[in-house]
Amino acid sequence: MARATYPGKCQFCQGEFPKGRMTRHLRACEKRKAALEKSEKKGRKKQAIFHLVVEGRDRPMYWLHVETRAGSTFGDLDLFLRDIWLECCGHLSNFTFREEDFDEDDFDNFEGSSPFGPPGSKVTAKKLADRVKPGDVFFYEYDFGSTTALKLKVVGHREGVMKKGDVQVLARNLPPEIACDCGKPAVLVCTECMWDEAGWLCKSCAKNHECGDDILLPVVNSPRVGVCGYTG
């Protein structure tokens, strides 16, 4: 069997490339160059911009390339990640900067955020550039019960024109093709069988699924597919 390449699409030229080649493509993409030149002609002041790759820590087939200003905050990034991939019921989330900090039971150094939580001296108010630099890897988790964990890497930086707080998607993985046991494409996933890496169901098999149909969730293009109440 061919090695999984987790292909995705460039948002500028709509070209499809394997995950491992997208960084190189984005540097060379003519359509992207044209878009950047256009945004810079407006003569606004240039700022440092970070290029980030985000992926599911345990589900690397889900990935994004994004850009945001180095002066954007972790809170801006948190909102973006919730919006595009994660938000189901306003769970807490957290950024960590060393893999050994990545421990669900360790709340001593808790720097969590929540749209409903109290604001304060949290990491969400800090600027990206205060904690990370190009080359750095850091982590994010959403929901400390049924956690979705992400890995982020600053793969590049440039000087350019962008609004503070904006997060722009440069490229995104194509929806992985997941098959039901019968061979047809899965459209629903069972939140119980999911724990055993099973439960991907086509429409007709879903009707007869032994766990019942009230615990099925739609198959969506997100590392949180099949978790909690996430419907995309």
Q: Which is nearer to Zn ion, 136 or 192 (CB)?
A: 192
Query: Whole-number minimum distance, CB 91 to Zn ion, in Å?
Result: 6
Q: Which is nearer to Zn ion, 128 or 217 (CB)?
A: 217
Give the whole-angstrom CA distance, residue 49 versus residue 57: 24
Query: Whole-number minimum distance, CB 158 to Zn ion, in Å?
Result: 16
Residues that bind Zn ion (CB under 5 A): 10, 12-13, 15, 29, 88-89, 180, 182, 184, 190, 192-193, 199, 202, 205, 211, 228-229
How far is it between the farthest Cα atoms of the chain? 62
Q: Which is nearer to Zn ion, 128 or 228 (CB)?
A: 228
Q: Which is nearer to Zn ion, 1 or 89 (CB)?
A: 89
Structure tokens at 32: 């992207």
Are 26 and 130 in contact by the 8 Å Cβ rule? The answer is: no
* Helix (H) or strand (E) run with residue 39 in it: helix 30-41
Query: Whole-number minimum distance, CB 23 to Zn ion, in Å?
Result: 12
Give the whole-angstrom CA distance, residue 175 versus residue 163: 29
Which runs of E-coded beta strand occur in 25-81? 47-56, 63-69
Q: Which is nearer to Zn ion, 52 or 180 (CB)?
A: 180
Q: Which is nearer to Zn ion, 138 or 200 (CB)?
A: 200
Are 32 and 26 in contact by the 8 Å Cβ rule? The answer is: yes
Structure tokens at 46: 């240039």
Query: Whole-number minimum distance, CB 86 to Zn ion, in Å?
Result: 9
Query: Whole-number minimum distance, CB 31 to Zn ion, in Å?
Result: 5
Query: Whole-number minimum distance, CB 25 to Zn ion, in Å?
Result: 6
Strands lying side by side in the sheet with 148-160: 16-17, 8-10, 167-173, 63-69, 47-56, 148-160, 137-142, 93-96
